[in-house]
Structure 1
Amino acid sequence: MNHPIQTPASNTAAFNQKRKKLFALLAVAVAAAGGGYGTYWKLVASHYVSTDNAYTNAEVAQVTSQIDGQVADVKVVNSQKIKRGDVLVTLDNTDATLNLRQAQADLARAQAQKIAAESDLERASIDLKRREALAGTGAVSGDEITHIKDAENNAHAALDAANASIAQSQARLDRTRVDLARTVIRAPVDGVVARREVQLGQRVQPSVPLLSVVPVQSMYVNANFKEVQLEGVHPGQKATMTSDLYGSDIVYHGVVEGFDGGTGSAFALIPAQNATGNWIKVVQRLPVRIRLDPAELAAHPLRVGLSMNTTIDLQNKS
């Protein structure tokens, strides 16, 4: 039986034909993949924008003392959960208590002075009426009546001074009561204690930070989207987020609340000066604030600064 002889030319032609078929199949596969991706982008992907440049944040409450004083007790530690009104720090109240007692004594003295002034005024008024009744008979001289009028005027002035002294003493008493109450520093909001710097025995002054309270129940997300992604983003749109802390199994749901007033670079300590000869355009990111669901936060608490993967649905609104 005779077999056809394979020549080099026939081998090359067969190889070229096979390669053309493979390239044709590859072109068909690429075209199909491109068409599929285009369809997916038009029907699905173009309706969402996503970023992994997102972080949790909260309106952290900074606790400071409103008066000078020495720390007598610190009742909280970092990471401790607290409720609004819980005692955080107490200051030595010895000076405040003494000032309160002094203010109470000053008020009592002013009130006694008022009583004496009222008595003097009443007596002077009675004397003046009696003298004026007798003036027509000539039994009382004009000088005597003038003297009684001066006494009445002086009693009026003493009463006015006593009333002013009472008002001043009352204000001082109210202030000392406030200062005494301020020796007990309480939590302004519910949350978790963070950055506790105050120590027992420390001398504190107003405006010096003692600790912070993070309201974890009011956490939100700052998602830094590229400026080219924000054309279709509007307040009220729904968003889904996952945290690196819990993984992709835990999904948070939120709502877009708004946009920051500027990009991060615009508010940097040293803003970029783009009016230079070697300027290179860099796509900027604008923080988008997203409100989280309080129930989901309660079930899976977050902390400030955690990374979040964020996707915004450009079609749906809450």
Structure 2
Amino acid sequence: MTDQDKQVPAAAAAATETAPAGNGNRRKALSALAAIVVVAGAGWGAYEWLVASHYESTDNAYVQGNVIQITPQIAGTVMSIMADDTDYVKAGQPLVKLDPADARVALDQAEAALAQTVRQVRTLYLNNGSLAAQVALREADIVKARSDIGRAEDDLQRRKALSGNGAVSKEELNHAETALSNAKSALSAAQAGVTAAKEQLASNQSLTEGTSVQQHPSVLAAAAKVREAYLATQRIDIPAPVDGYVAKRTVQLGQRVAAGTPMMSVVPLNQVWVDANFKEVQLRSIRLGQPVKLTADVYGTKVEYTGKVAGLGVGTGAAFALLPAQNATGNWIKVVQRVPVRIALDGEQLKSNPLRVGLSMDAQVDVSNKDGKMLATAPRPSALSQTQVYSALDQGADAEVQRIIAANLGSKRADVGALAQPARPPRGSHAAQPANPS
């Protein structure tokens, strides 16, 4: 037997001796790994039960805000632009100015029409007196005609008494009869004249009854035209309705714009919110008022925002899409839908770290407290937003209307009352009218 043949059994024996030691180490390693997996699983389960189950999070969230379009209320030509993209503007600050020439011409025409209307209405009131005098005159004609009839009847009776003895000729008797007939015709004409005069007076009084010159419907209509034209002159300056930043300016100098043409937008960055699109399976525990922690990609995790759930959408994004999915036709694949959840932000945090519309956000909702409601059950108690920059545009219109009316009422004008809210007589009452002699 050679030396090589002797080494083979020796190697086999050595391998047999070391094999149990290697299997034992492997079992220990596998046992340790299994223990680690079990501990990790238990830890993960405990974390899910105690911590993760109390939160719902998503990175499908974006900053939203009011993008207020600035549009003119009247047509005109752009003369000046006082703000550009990224500029900060205050509420009431002029943004664009239009050419005032057209508005001023329209105001002049409306003022002239009001002055003419006041004078025409004055004429209606003056006609009441002249028409009443016409009635009195026609009634005097009736008295005169009746007197003429009495005299003609007496003349005819005397002539008839004398006609038997030949003292009065037949021709003279005929003349007396004709005179009586003419007197009766004159009475009928006078009575018809009184009726016509009374109808004319009543017709004119119907245009003036129960009102004054200042509050006559024709005057009020002309005054409304003046106010409309006056407002147009005030609307040539287009103000910013709120504080904010200018974006999407499209208007240019010399551009002819119509009412409602978009010229630029103003975005109030202090009133932004977050729309977080949660999966439908995440909505089970989300309630109104729950606290939310948010981070923005623009600042990273160093800046954390606090908010609260302000509302849940009433439909999924697909339901309100321009082309909604038609799941009832053709092949269908289920896709998990998402519902927008509105999250209100803290205004003080926005001042320190402002956000922009459209920025990406990560949102984490604490759903530990489920006492709140999923949907609002009461209407909003006050206006969502409002502005006062347009409320003072017509302050000078009433003064202008009163000035024109007072200038055209004449020296014997009545007291010019406030025209903004014309006083109306109580139901069933009547204003004093000219005395009717008839």
- The alpha-carbon deviation at position 196 of structure 1 amounts to 0.9
Q: Select which of 79, 83, 87 maps to 1:76.
A: 83
Q: Select which of 175, 194, 198 maps to 1:149.
A: 198
- The alpha-carbon deviation at position 314 of structure 1 amounts to 0.2
Supply the AA of the counterpart residue of 1:18: N
Partner of 1:39: 46
SS of aligned partner of 2:242: coil
Q: Select which of 286, 293, 297 maps to 1:244.
A: 297
Which stretch of the first structure deviates more once superposed, 125-134 or 114-123?
125-134
Alignment of 1:223 with 2:282, yes or no, is no
Partner of 1:296: 349
Supply the AA of the counterpart residue of 1:307: S
Alignment of 1:1-318 (within 5 A): 7-129=14-136, 132=139, 135-136=142-143, 138=146, 141-146=190-195, 148-149=197-198, 151-153=200-202, 155-156=204-205, 163-275=216-328, 278-316=331-369
Show CA shifts across 1:169-208 (max 9, x none).
2222122122222222122222211111111111111232
Show CA shifts across 1:79-121 (max 9, x none).
1122222211111110110110111011011111122221221
Which stretch of the first structure deviates more once superposed, 262-271 or 33-42?
262-271
CA distance in 2, matches of 1:271, 1:24: 55
User: Aligned residues, how many?
Assistant: 313
Partner of 2:380: none
State the TM-score, normalizing by the size of structure 2. 0.66
Supply the AA of the counterpart residue of 2:82: K
Gaps of 5+ in 2: 1-10, 148-186, 373-438
Which stretch of the first structure deviates more once superposed, 121-130 or 19-28?
121-130
Which stretch of the first structure deviates more once superposed, 136-145 or 7-16?
136-145
SS of aligned partner of 1:290: strand
Q: Which has more radius of gyration?
A: 2
- The alpha-carbon deviation at position 150 of structure 1 amounts to 5.0
Show CA shifts across 1:262-282 (max 9, x none).
222222222233345643222
Partner of 2:395: none
Supply the AA of the counterpart residue of 1:302: L
Which stretch of the first structure deviates more once superposed, 115-124 or 101-110?
115-124
SS of aligned partner of 2:367: strand
RMSD of Structure 2 on Structure 1 (CA): 2.5
Partner of 2:177: none
- The alpha-carbon deviation at position 245 of structure 1 amounts to 1.4
Residues 234 and 154 (structure 1), Cα distance of their counterparts in 2 relative to 1, 3 Å cut: closer
CA distance in 2, matches of 1:147, 1:284: 83
CA distance in 2, matches of 1:276, 1:17: 62
Q: 2:139, 2:191 within 8 Å by CA — same for their partners in 1? A: no
Supply the AA of the counterpart residue of 2:50: L
Supply the AA of the counterpart residue of 1:102: Q
Which stretch of the first structure deviates more once superposed, 133-142 or 77-86?
133-142
State the TM-score, normalizing by the size of structure 1. 0.89
